[in-house]
Structure 1
């Protein structure tokens, strides 16, 4: 591994760790479970993508296929899991902290969609 790859991998690790930290702070600071889940899923996935990119780079391509497979699985499953958990929470009666736009999912349930 040359020096440029090492620096780039180090920068990717640092960026992934910082974004993951921001997501963790969002989980602690945001007002309701929906906002927290959004912060955790978006920042967690982006942080993990950067870390997997760092792994692929630092291994000089030896683990690139495994990192790409992990990346694809993560990108496919994280949004689906967050959506399923949010929908289940809404059906269980956990209401979001509403802003000026209101609750569009509640309106669609009232219409029978």
Structure 2
């Protein structure tokens, strides 16, 4: 029974990692590629760690697999955000079909400053 669970988790992990690789190759611009690689890649790694925990059935291995999953869940979205932001600020072009660019009116590429959506006022109100 454990072999079936491990096999299913490994197949699911491999499928998500394959989906991430296809997304990186097929999607048109940096933000969509970042989305594919971080979401599907993280899920693939999480399923693989689940398979490792089930296969070895040891508390030490389970604790390490859980620590790896938590680390991936914490670092993956942050890294994707930082890389995507750096790509945007260095001028990496967006896909021509992009409908909404919320940073366009708030980012000045000449001074490389980003302002918030709130205007400064003397009384502290937006």
- Please say whether Structure 1 and Structure 2 have the same fold, judged by a TM-score greater than 0.5: yes
Shift of 1:102: 2.0
| Aligned match of 2:22 | 25
For residue 5 of structure 1, what is the aligned residue in structure 2?
2
Structure number, greater radius of gyration? 2
1:107 aligns with 2:105: yes
More helix by share: 1
Q: State how far apart, in whole Å, the 2-side matches of 1:37 and 1:13 are.
A: 23
**C-alpha distance in 1, partners of 2:17/2:84?**
21
How far apart, CA to CA, are the structure 1 residues paired with 2:3 and 2:22? 29
Once superposed, which parts of structure 1, at least 4 consecutive aligned residues long, lie more than 6 Å away?
A: none
Is residue 2:55 matched to residue 1:58? yes
Residue 98 of structure 1: CA displacement? 4.8
Distance (Å, rounded) in 2 between the aligned partners of 1:64 and 1:35: 33
CA, structure 1 residues 100+58, in 2 after alignment: closer, same or farther (shift >3 Å)? Answer: same
Aligned residue pair count = 110
Which structure's relative contact order is higher, taking Cα pairs within 8 Å and 6+ residues apart? 1
Q: When the two structures are superposed, what TM-score results if normalisation uses the length of structure 1? A: 0.89
TM-score (norm 2): 0.80
Distance of 1:29 and 1:101 partners within structure 2:
19
Task: Structure 1 unaligned segments of length 5 or more: list them.
Answer: none
Query: How big is the shift at 1:11?
Result: 0.3
* Mapped partners of 2:97, 2:103: distance in 1: 14
Q: Which 5+ residue runs of structure 2 have no aligned equivalent?
A: 109-113, 117-126
